[in-house]
Structure 1
């Protein structure tokens, strides 16, 4: 009986300690956040923290996430949405996944891989590691394709060229019809592929 009580006390202590540890975690680029708004479920999504430390959400735009706790991010999203609701929105923010570290990877690691960020309306947004020569279409296939809200005619590939960022406009429908070869464009290390949310009548 005494052993059972000690075990129960230990489990309770661990359960109480877990939220504290999570709240102390500071989000970093490559992490994926789960954002939910009770009053508007259409806004619920997984959002990638881009290399500049921001997450991008509909009706909100970019919110600084890097270096902040999930509670601080939740407060920032709530404040940004406040004017769009008659009563303050109920927002939940949690960690869907953390950016992989080299030390945490299991199995054989290729001699050279590229880090590519995919954000917006895809099935599995986040940071992925691909081999050199991987194309835009192959990246889209790796993340599971588009969500039902994807604006597939307005894809963006953002690439850092030296100190400046280049933005390439891509049209998936043109890829499908064979009117554009941009889908065969090889990605580069640090590229960010953005799939925007479809507009109302798009």
Structure 2
């Protein structure tokens, strides 16, 4: 019987200990909901959502950083900030009320780069392309070239790490005929593709 009682005790105690260890290690994230209780002043008790900037707000305290901290660290910070408003340090409890919604990795938006298409494109402007996108793919996303485009004088303008601008020229007529390469040039974030207007007899 004593052995059975010990086993039953372990069944009930271990999940509690595991939960406590998990709570100590957990780092608060934006979107989490924290339950805040102040024993000395029930009017301060509330549920506080962690805002996108990682902050929570509480009367008498204002905004404090919660994201990236443990529950114990948030609790200590709140206690210290509330202390001047009480004769003795208040008793503050911070617990996790609800976890932020976790978006599965398969549903997260794929990273993109900003590329800009200027001039004689059908839809010039900023184009969001995937890393590794090529010159031709970006032009396709910009709706292709207008009938007035100078296809032989397309430019790719890129600013290097030193701040100097590099200009690369492409003949899209030759690329389309397979007589020249360059269409598979990989783009970088911030690249600008300039498509000049065709001259009168060009």
Question: TM-score normalized by structure 2?
Answer: 0.48
Q: Which has the larger Rg?
A: 2
TM-score (normalised: structure 1): 0.48
